[in-house]
Amino acid sequence: MYIRMTAMRIRVFTILLILLLAAEASARERIVFLGREDNWADMVYQLGLRLRSGYRGELDLSLRDGEYEPEPETDLLLHFNRAPFIDAAGLYRVVGAEQRVSPLARLGQGAARFDARDQGLLLEASREAMFAAGQSWDDFSIEFWLYPAALDDGESILDWEGSRRTEEDRLEQRFRVEVHRRRLRWELTNVFFRPDHEPHRIVLEGDRSLIPRSWSHHLLRFEAGTGLIEYLVDGVPRDLRHVTDTGREGGDIYLPYLGQASKSQLRLGVGYSGLIDQLRFSRRYVTDPMLDRTDEVPAVGITRAFDLGHPLSQPTRIDARFQTPGETDVFFFYRLSDDPHFENLHTGWRRFEPGDALPDRAQGRFLQLRVELYPDGRRRESPSVSWLAIRYEQASPPAAPARLWAEPGDGTVRLRWDEVVDPDVDGYYVYYGTRPGQYFGTGAVQGRSPVDVGDVTEVELEGLENGTVYYFAVAAYDAAGIIPETRFSQEAHARPSRRNE
């Protein structure tokens, strides 16, 4: 009696231990990291995003800066993202040893850095460029971003000199942009052609002081149809003139013309300390300068589908390190499926808060993440995401039956197997076939292989061919049913035959 009770306790203890170990195995937490050392290689779709140096020197996701692309009317386009500087429009060549890039860019990856002790840079114009000798202009615009360090009088941003011959003399010409009283002053001397060849000078200047070590956008634009020339700072008009014989709207309009005796060269940044970014000349009246950091709102990144190993795996929490300066935002989404090929990019997403338990405890084998980055209202600030971490409990398929017995009969085989002690087991599949390890059998009354026999540990397959050897294996299944990782019992075989002739 004592021995029987002790054996029963041992059996109960063994069953509890097996259940505990099974629960522990099924609830094992795993972590998948995105970002960090892999530099966001798991991102398969990006719109309006870029990578920039961030947390601990690793790459952060942030808003991609909008940068101009060359257009048919683009005369010069310098992004200053890397040295040597290349004109994206292909009409100018940048000359000078002091081609230095600062990572403190307004847009893109870099800005041109200037020091007052240097000689600046030289822009050599090709024959088709605006500042080539003998060129005439209609509509035009000149714009750039400026980050001054000192704002000393006389610091030169742009400087072109030329001359135009008249019947009696030679008329000196100059196009200059320089710092004056902590503002920018645009001076155009004899640039606009007057039929009487009289000297003509136009000066435009901002009405507010610039702030050192702060970015500001500067635009000079001319509309040939009205003679209006206008200077804007950060998109706001600060000064204007009408280049007409009356000095007002209406009357004869003067148009720019550069003399044949001019040198096709401009000086950039002579005596200037600070940064210049996104320098663009256009043969059009620009009404839409790029003042925003990005045009894509929101910027979107979508990861590949991560395989969690089992259809019953449960993502429990998704952590993230991110920053939202000012009025910026980052929204996070996930979706689950048993198919790695999601239907499209825009459906099935569920929003989550990083660090919080996922609300619905959904299950699935494949998980995909989506991040949306929003700038502030002025589109000047960018949020950033340093990394993401998926925490999930990986489910495992039930263990295989430890033993399997096969007893042949007349056109039948009776199969018995050990019960799999696992609360998640919903039933068993019986696999059969006529070759070892190849369970593609047909002909049994219960159906083709595998046969779902339900939650039993014994079954008799009927309708088998006498004299043929059959091979069998049994697998337990849970709510996920058959999966590629289903575990099979040891193989058993039997040959049905008639008992009596």
Report the C-alpha dihedral over residues 74, 78, 81, 83, rounded to 10 degrees: 130
Query: Which superfamily does 29-63+295-393 belong to?
Result: Galactose-binding domain-like (2.60.120.260)
Please report the pLDDT score of residue 151 as a whole number. Answer: 93
Structure tokens at 318: 């998704």
Distances (CA, A) of 380 to 63, 66, 83: 10, 11, 25
Please report the pLDDT score of residue 266 as a whole number. Answer: 95
Please report the pLDDT score of residue 145 as a whole number. Answer: 97
Task: Give 118-141 pLDDT, tens digit per residue.
Answer: 899 999 999 999 999 999 999 999
Check for a shared fold between 29-63+295-393 and 74-282: yes
Please report the pLDDT score of residue 500 as a whole number. Answer: 60
What are residue 249's phi and psi, to 5 degrees? -65, 135
HSE value, Cβ hemisphere, 13 Å, CA-based, for 247 = 4
Spell out the domain ranges in the chain.
Answer: 1-26, 29-63+295-393, 74-282, 404-494
Where does the pLDDT of residue 79 fall: very low under 50, low under 70, confident under 90, or very high at 90 and above?
Answer: very high
- b/e per residue, 270-302, with b = 16+ CB within 10 A? bbbbbbbbbbbbbebbbeebbbebbeeebbbbb
Question: Strand 427-433 to strand 384-393: parallel, antiparallel, or no bridges (unpaired)?
Answer: unpaired
Please report the pLDDT score of residue 359 as a whole number. Answer: 73
pTM of this structure: 0.60
Q: Give the chain's mean pLDDT.
A: 89
**What average pLDDT does this structure show over 142-152?**
96
The candidate with the shortest Cα–Cα distance to 334, out of 286, 310, 383, 370, is 370
**What average pLDDT does this structure show over 248-272?**
92
Share of residues in the chain with pLDDT > 70 (%) = 93
- What HEC string does 97-158 produce? CCCEEECCCCCCCCEEEECCCCCCEEEEECCCCCCCCCCECCCEEEEEEEEECCCCCCCEEE
Instruction: Tell me if 366 sits within 8 A of 338, measured CB to CB.
Output: yes
Task: Give 342-355 pLDDT, tens digit per residue.
Answer: 878 888 999 999 99
Question: Strand 306-307 to strand 366-374: parallel, antiparallel, or no bridges (unpaired)?
Answer: antiparallel
Please report the pLDDT score of residue 19 as a whole number. Answer: 38
Residues in the chain: 501
Is pLDDT of 4 > 60?
A: no
**What average pLDDT does this structure show over 52-74?**
86
- Per the model's pLDDT, the better-predicted residue between 291 and 81 turns out to be 81
- Per the model's pLDDT, the better-predicted residue between 105 and 6 turns out to be 105
Please report the pLDDT score of residue 462 as a whole number. Answer: 95
Share of residues in the chain with pLDDT > 90 (%) = 66
Please report the pLDDT score of residue 179 as a whole number. Answer: 97
Is pLDDT of 395 > 90?
A: no
**What average pLDDT does this structure show over 487-493?**
94
CATH of 404-494 among 2.60.40.10, 3.20.20.70, 3.90.220.20, 3.40.50.2000: 2.60.40.10
- In which element (H, E) is residue 424 found? none
Task: Give 308-319 pLDDT, tens digit per residue.
Answer: 888 888 899 999
Please report the pLDDT score of residue 295 as a whole number. Answer: 64
The candidate with the shortest Cα–Cα distance to 243, out of 258, 257, 253, 251, is 253
Tokens 């601990």 identify what position? 56
DSSP state of 257: B
The domain 74-282 having CATH identifier 2.60.120.200: the answer here is yes
- Per the model's pLDDT, the better-predicted residue between 2 and 296 turns out to be 296
Instruction: Tell me if 315 sits within 8 A of 307, measured CB to CB.
Output: no
* Other C-beta atoms lying within 10 Å of the C-beta of residue 195: 8
The CA distance from 204 to 161, in Å, is 18
| DSSP assignments along 327-381, one per residue | T-EEEEEEEEESSSS-S-SSSS-EEE-TTSBPTT----SEEEEEEEEE--TTS--
Is pLDDT of 5 > 70?
A: no
